[in-house]
Amino acid sequence: MILKKLKRATALVGVLVLTTGIFAGCSGGTTNKPSDANKGGKDDEIVIGFSMDTLKEERWQKDRDTLMARAKELGVKILIQAANGDDNKQIAQAENLISQGVDVLMVAPHNAEVAATIVEAAHEEGIPVLSYDRLIKNSDVDVYVSFDNEKVGELQAEYVTKLVPKGNYVYIGGAPTDNNAHLFRKGAMNVLKPLIEKGDIKLVYDQMSKDWQPSEAQKHMENALTANKNKIDAVICANDGTAGGAISALSEQQLAGKVPVTGQDAELAACQRIVEGMQTMTVYKPIPKLAETALDVAIKLAKKEKVETNGTVNNGKIDVPSVLLEPIVVDKNNMMDTIIKDGYHPYEEVYKNIPEDQRPKQK
């Protein structure tokens, strides 16, 4: 504990300097001067570290922005670092947050297995770890806050199999290093498998995409089209980024808008494609809800209070107490009642390429 306070006292100097760099420091309430760390009162300020894999996809920027805003509202300090998909960098950044004596460490891991070392390092300093959105595997991670990720895959496959009950299917998954990518695929396969066994659906192509790269997904789609002489009836893409890649490949063959494509994240570009008819659906995961829930849980962990969970997820080592939120299907028909109603994206932006007289009326 003393070590932790000493470390925090020195590290706070670093935070103040680094807030303009890779650190996203955010303090609610009173200012946090280095000297405060040695005084009573300020010692009680909760400091939460957040080690992120990436800020590449739009959703992660929403995660970051919501967390910073909410932390400010609640008067807790949050330090955020993103590793640009580099495992060593993520470990070094997490170690740095640990050495600053954060009260709780939240981690959205790039690599589900590698991140177990972060949990060990944090636990050695008595710091609890919250697995954020993505599960850290084979570790004693304290709690997992995410969406029901298997359900995300089920929703994608259910939607598209209703639309196209028979035919040649392509599955374009996410990063093999991300546990979520496996859960999304598992969910999709729960729905597809009986139809494949019945002979209604033929899974003609099934690949994951390194680091969720849209360019990888585009190559997958090109390969799938070539190998099947363009006879593809439906494409399940694990997220909107990969959907964007697949749709580029489909448009090279004048097939965009003709072959259903799924996605996930309700990114602005995907919502625009949906209302334009280029993408069929997305799975909307209200990120502010995730960020706020995670922050509430982190604060409870910091205060050593009981955390309410609604399930467990096995990570290969333990059943991790989990809070899993509900994902929501979004298509052209309910765009107004979901994304627009929630203010997730502005109406003007989502419908910007649709002539005004063809847009749904705003309520």
Binding site residues, ligand BGC, CB under 6 A: 57, 59, 133-134, 174, 178, 180, 212, 239, 264-265
Residue pair 133/183 in contact (Cβ under 8 Å)? The answer is no
CB of 263 to ligand BGC, least distance (A): 9
CB of 305 to ligand BGC, least distance (A): 27
> At CB < 8 A and 24+ separation, what contacts does 112-119 make?
112/136, 112/137, 112/177, 112/178, 112/179, 113/137, 113/138, 113/177, 114/87, 114/90, 114/177, 115/90, 115/139, 117/91, 118/51, 118/90, 118/91, 118/94
Neighbours of 72 (CB within 10 A): 15
CB of 355 to ligand BGC, least distance (A): 31
CB of 59 to ligand BGC, least distance (A): 5
Neighbours of 190 (CB within 10 A): 15
Q: Which is nearer to ligand BGC, 11 or 323 (CB)?
A: 323
Closest of 178, 160, 209 to residue 52, by C-alpha: 178
Three-state secondary structure call for residue 22: coil
Three-class HEC string of 43-99: HHCCEEEEEECCCCCHHHHHHHHHHHHHHHHHCCEEEEEECCCCHHHHHHHHHHHHH
CB of 264 to ligand BGC, least distance (A): 6
Residue pair 78/48 in contact (Cβ under 8 Å)? The answer is yes
Q: Which is nearer to ligand BGC, 111 or 180 (CB)?
A: 180
Q: Which is nearer to ligand BGC, 11 or 181 (CB)?
A: 181
CB of 184 to ligand BGC, least distance (A): 8
CB of 267 to ligand BGC, least distance (A): 8
Q: Which is nearer to ligand BGC, 53 or 103 (CB)?
A: 53
> At CB < 8 A and 24+ separation, what contacts does 91-96 make?
91/117, 91/118, 93/22, 93/51, 94/49, 94/51, 94/118, 94/121, 94/122, 95/121
Three-state secondary structure call for residue 106: strand
Closest of 138, 103, 135, 136 to residue 122, by C-alpha: 103
Q: Which is nearer to ligand BGC, 8 or 134 (CB)?
A: 134
Residue pair 201/169 in contact (Cβ under 8 Å)? The answer is yes
CA 257 to chain centre: 26
Q: Which is nearer to ligand BGC, 133 or 154 (CB)?
A: 133
Token representation of residue 257:
């808008």
CB of 178 to ligand BGC, least distance (A): 5
Place of tokens 């009173």: 30
Q: Which is nearer to ligand BGC, 133 or 150 (CB)?
A: 133
Q: Which is nearer to ligand BGC, 283 or 335 (CB)?
A: 283
Q: Which is nearer to ligand BGC, 66 or 180 (CB)?
A: 180
CB of 314 to ligand BGC, least distance (A): 18
